[in-house]
Amino acid sequence: MPPFATSGQDFDKSGSSKSGSGKSGSDKPGSGPSLPRATFRFRCIGCGSLSESAAQDFRCSHCSNLLEITDPTWKSGSLNAAALKSLWRDRRSSRLPLDLSGVWRFRELLPTPQSEQPIITLREGNTPLYDLPQSSRITGVPRLFAKHQGMNPTGSFKDAGMTVAATFARQAGYRWVACASTGNTSASMAAYAARGGMRSLVLVPEGKISWSKLSQALDYGALTCQLRTDFDGCLRLLQELVRRAPIYQLNSINPFRLEGQKTLALELLEQLDWQTPDHIIVPGGNLGNSSAIGKALLEMLDLGLIPRLPKLSVIQAEGANALVRTLREAGGKHLVSVQAETRATAIRIGNPASWEKAVHVLQATGGACEQVSELEMAQAKAEIGAEGIGCEPASAVTLAGLKKLVARRFVKQDETVILVLTGNLLKDPDFTMEFHRGDLFQGAAREPENAKLDRFRHPPVVLDATLDAVIRTLEQAEKSDPPHPNV
Ligand code: F0G
Atom of ligand 1 nearest to the CA of 188: 20
Going from N- to C-terminal start, the domains of the chain cover: 10-27+39-72+114-121+155-257
pTM summary value: 0.92
How many Å lie between the centroid of ligand 1 and the Cα of residue 286? 7
* Nearest residue (CA) to ligand 1, atom 19: 181
pLDDT band at 285 (very low <50, low <70, confident <90, very high): very high
pLDDT band at 60 (very low <50, low <70, confident <90, very high): very high
| DSSP state letter for 66 | B
| Residues above pLDDT 70, as percent of the chain | 89
Q: How far apart are CA 336 and CA 360, in angstroms?
A: 16
Residue of 448 and 258 predicted with greater confidence = 258
Asked if residue 66 has pLDDT above 90, the reply is yes
For residue range 358-375, list pLDDT tens digits in order.
Answer: 999 999 999 999 999 999
Atom of ligand 1 nearest to the CA of 292: 13
282: left (phi over 0), alpha (psi -120 to 50) or beta: beta
Instruction: Give the pLDDT score at 112.
Output: 87
Consecutive H or E run containing 201: strand 199-205
Name which of 71-75, 314-318, 475-479 the model is least confident about.
71-75
Q: How far apart are CA 487 and CA 485, in angstroms?
A: 6
Q: What is the mean pLDDT of residues 85-91?
A: 97
How many Å lie between the centroid of ligand 1 and the Cα of residue 354? 12
How many Å lie between the centroid of ligand 1 and the Cα of residue 18? 31
Consecutive H or E run containing 263: helix 263-271
Q: What is the mean pLDDT of residues 349-354?
A: 97
Angle at which helices 184-195 and 211-219 pack, to 10 degrees? 10
pLDDT band at 78 (very low <50, low <70, confident <90, very high): confident
How many Å lie between the centroid of ligand 1 and the Cα of residue 32? 30
Contact in structure between 202 and 186 (CB atoms under 8 Å): yes
For residue range 111-161, list pLDDT tens digits in order.
Answer: 988 877 799 999 999 999 999 999 999 999 999 999 999 999 999 999 999
**Fold held by 10-27+39-72+114-121+155-257:** Rossmann fold (3.40.50)
Residue of 75 and 6 predicted with greater confidence = 75
How many Å lie between the centroid of ligand 1 and the Cα of residue 345? 9
Atom of ligand 1 nearest to the CA of 423: 3
How many Å lie between the centroid of ligand 1 and the Cα of residue 423? 9
Instruction: Give the pLDDT score at 389.
Output: 97
Contact in structure between 413 and 141 (CB atoms under 8 Å): yes
For residue range 165-209, list pLDDT tens digits in order.
Answer: 999 999 999 999 999 999 999 999 999 999 999 999 999 999 999
Q: How far apart are CA 263 and CA 292, in angstroms?
A: 9
Handedness of CA 247, 248, 252, 253 (dihedral sign): positive
Atom of ligand 1 nearest to the CA of 261: 13
Ligand 1: list residues with CB < 6 Å.
156, 181-185, 252, 283-290, 346-347, 392, 394-395, 422-423
Q: Whose CA is closest to 109, among 349, 304, 361, 366? A: 304
Atom of ligand 1 nearest to the CA of 284: 14
Q: What is the mean pLDDT of the chain?
A: 90
* Nearest residue (CA) to ligand 1, atom 10: 285
* Nearest residue (CA) to ligand 1, atom 3: 423
Query: What is the DSSP track for 363-415?
Result: HHHT--EEEE-HHHHHHHHHHHHTTT----HHHHHHHHHHHHHHHTTSS-TTS
Instruction: Give the pLDDT score at 20.
Output: 37
Instruction: Give the pLDDT score at 482.
Output: 61
For residue range 394-451, list pLDDT tens digits in order.
Answer: 999 999 999 999 999 999 999 999 999 999 999 999 999 999 998 888 765 567 777 8
Consecutive H or E run containing 261: helix 255-261
Q: What is the mean pLDDT of residues 299-308?
A: 96
Render the burial of 239-254: b for 16+ CB within 10 Å, e for the rest.
bebbeebbbbbbbbbb
